[in-house]
Amino acid sequence: MKIVLVNRYFFPDHSATSQILTDLAFHLASQGREVHIITSRQRYDEPAARLPPLESVRGVTVHRIWTSTFGRGNLFGRALDYLTFYLFTGFALLRLLRRGDVVVAKTDPPLLSLVASPVARLKGARLVNWLQDLFPEVAGAVGMSWAKGRIGRLLGAMRDRTLHSSYATVVTGTRMKHYLASRGVPENKLWVIHNWADGALTRPINPEDNALRRQWRLDRKFVVGYSGNMGRVHEFETILGAMEALKDDGGTVFLFIGGGAQRPWLEAQAREHGLSNVRFMPYQPREGLAESLSVPDVHLISLLPEVEGFVVPSKFYGIAAAGRPSIFVGSTEGEIAGLINEFKCGTVVRTGDVEGLSAAIARFRDDSALRQEYGRNARTIFEQKFDKHIALAAWSAVL
């Protein structure tokens, strides 16, 4: 029996879904399983990249299929990138799968199960869905009107049918599980496995010991960080308001590390409002996450309330691994908000509450004992629930 995992990005790409897929693939290969990856030849932030079409990496056979390379900047081009990935993924699965094999389909691009499910049935293989987000629900929540109409309902029904026929569906949060169960997906097929971070790789580093903090000339600043994707499901109006409210606080700096659809807008807003208390840095290599995630004194996580239950921000796990408190901006009843409140590892601010966010930042700035307490709590709960080895053991149980 072989295991075939499908996702648009894989090692050496550094995007969040790629990193956790890489962890799982290497773990399964280390157990002596035959593991194959179907992925693209691109990197998340480098659509023109040309990775080798076939190679073996740490015992994993990587099949990189051809796709168009328009990238994320153009909606029509992105759709064509998706379509070509679907098409050649189908061909690759037809070639690779045999009776009794397992195919694990992620959700980049969306609705991969619509391709994987019929091929798995035809070849006598078993399908496991790994849902990082729910489409078309996310598309509707961020304002795409078609996703709320007849087309969206049809796509949702088609997706649900593949979840019914699959052997298992792994979701990243309890709200997502409950939502799918409410749509009739059998609960005994739904597994909650949170995304994770590598606690051996990402660990707390004291500010005075952090070379990257000195390199970025932040060693005498109170740093409010945001690390990772700045995508359409994330909320930045409230954060921008707090940046303006604190712009005259010379000791506080907002640091954004990463990229995504909203980064250009955020950079433009910072320039337009003359905000000198903001800095932008590119994605950092995974081997440097201990340093980069330990640069901020407190981290921001944001999510549109409309997408709660459809997306779970994976930023939380790396922040907790680095032993830093979080300020979550979004629904106070959301998945991450619940974790933060339950384990006392940060604070929660309602979307639009600029005054509340500014006050929360000031509170952490002025109370180092609170920062340390919440940071310790974050690392403790990470080690108990969200470290890599815990999630990989759960995946072994599913498979």
Q: In CATH, what number is assigned to the domain containing residue 75?
A: 3.40.50.2000
Going by pLDDT thresholds of 50, 70 and 90, the confidence category of residue 77 is confident
> Taking 80 as the threshold, does the pLDDT of residue 71 lie above it?
no
Q: Is residue 396 part of a domain?
A: no
Q: Are residues 377 and 316 in the same domain?
A: yes
Q: Are residues 237 and 350 in the same domain?
A: yes
High-pLDDT (> 90) share of the chain, %: 89
How much is the mean pLDDT over the chain? 95
> Taking 90 as the threshold, does the pLDDT of residue 54 lie above it?
yes
Q: Are strands 326-330 and 346-350 parallel, antiparallel or unpaired?
A: parallel
Q: Are residues 371 and 301 in the same domain?
A: yes
Q: Tell me how far the alpha carbon of residue 174 is from its chain's centroid.
A: 16
Say how many domains are in the chain.
2
Is-contact 332 338, C-beta < 8 A?
no
What's the start-to-end Cα distance of the chain, in Å?
11
What pLDDT shows up at residue 278? 96
What pLDDT shows up at residue 102? 98
Q: Can you tell me the distance from the alpha carbon of 72 to that of 330, in angstroms, rounded to the nearest whole number?
A: 25
Domain-ending residue, one of 161, 192, 223: 192
> Taking 70 as the threshold, does the pLDDT of residue 282 lie above it?
yes
Domain span at residue 64 reads: 2-192
> Taking 90 as the threshold, does the pLDDT of residue 41 lie above it?
yes
Going by pLDDT thresholds of 50, 70 and 90, the confidence category of residue 48 is confident
| DSSP track, 334-387 | SHHHHHHHHHTSEEEEETT-HHHHHHHHHHHHH-HHHHHHHHHHHHHHIIIIIB
Q: Is residue 399 part of a domain?
A: no
Domain-ending residue, one of 192, 218, 249: 192
> Taking 70 as the threshold, does the pLDDT of residue 287 lie above it?
yes
Q: Average the pLDDT over 82-106 and give the result.
A: 97
Tokens standing for 37? 């990856």
Q: Can you tell me the distance from the alpha carbon of 223 to that of 296, in angstroms, rounded to the nearest whole number?
A: 5
Q: Is residue 11 part of a domain?
A: yes
Q: Is residue 197 part of a domain?
A: no
Going by pLDDT thresholds of 50, 70 and 90, the confidence category of residue 73 is low
> Taking 80 as the threshold, does the pLDDT of residue 238 lie above it?
yes
Q: Average the pLDDT over 241-258 and give the result.
A: 95
CB-based burial label for 69 (10 Å; 0-12, 13-18, 19+): middle
What pLDDT shows up at residue 45? 72
Say what the pTM is.
Answer: 0.93
Q: Are residues 37 and 122 in the same domain?
A: yes
Q: Are residues 309 and 369 in the same domain?
A: yes
Sign of the C-alpha dihedral computed for residues 287, 281, 142 and 74 taken in this order: negative
Q: Are residues 291 and 335 in the same domain?
A: yes
Domain-ending residue, one of 192, 222, 248: 192
> Taking 90 as the threshold, does the pLDDT of residue 17 lie above it?
no
Q: Is residue 318 part of a domain?
A: yes
Going by pLDDT thresholds of 50, 70 and 90, the confidence category of residue 295 is very high
Q: Are residues 223 and 91 in the same domain?
A: no
Q: Is residue 202 part of a domain?
A: no
- Strand-pair partners of 330: 350
What pLDDT shows up at residue 128? 98
What pLDDT shows up at residue 15? 83
Q: Can you tell me the distance from the alpha carbon of 335 to that of 330, in angstroms, rounded to the nearest whole number?
A: 10
Q: Are residues 179 and 315 in the same domain?
A: no
Q: Is residue 391 part of a domain?
A: no
Q: Are residues 70 and 126 in the same domain?
A: yes
pLDDT one-digit tens code per residue, 200-233: 999 999 999 999 999 999 989 999 999 999 999 9
> Taking 70 as the threshold, does the pLDDT of residue 173 lie above it?
yes
What pLDDT shows up at residue 269? 96
Q: Can you tell me the distance from the alpha carbon of 7 to that of 270, in angstroms, rounded to the nearest whole number?
A: 34
Q: Are residues 258 and 326 in the same domain?
A: yes
Sign of the C-alpha dihedral computed for residues 241, 349, 332 and 279 taken in this order: positive
**Residues in Cβ contact with 335 at an 8 Å cutoff, skipping those fewer than 6 apart:** 173, 174, 175, 308, 309, 312
What pLDDT shows up at residue 72? 67
Q: Are residues 235 and 373 in the same domain?
A: yes
φ/ψ of 386, rounded to 5, equals -125, 10
Q: Is residue 398 part of a domain?
A: no
Q: Are residues 175 and 222 in the same domain?
A: no
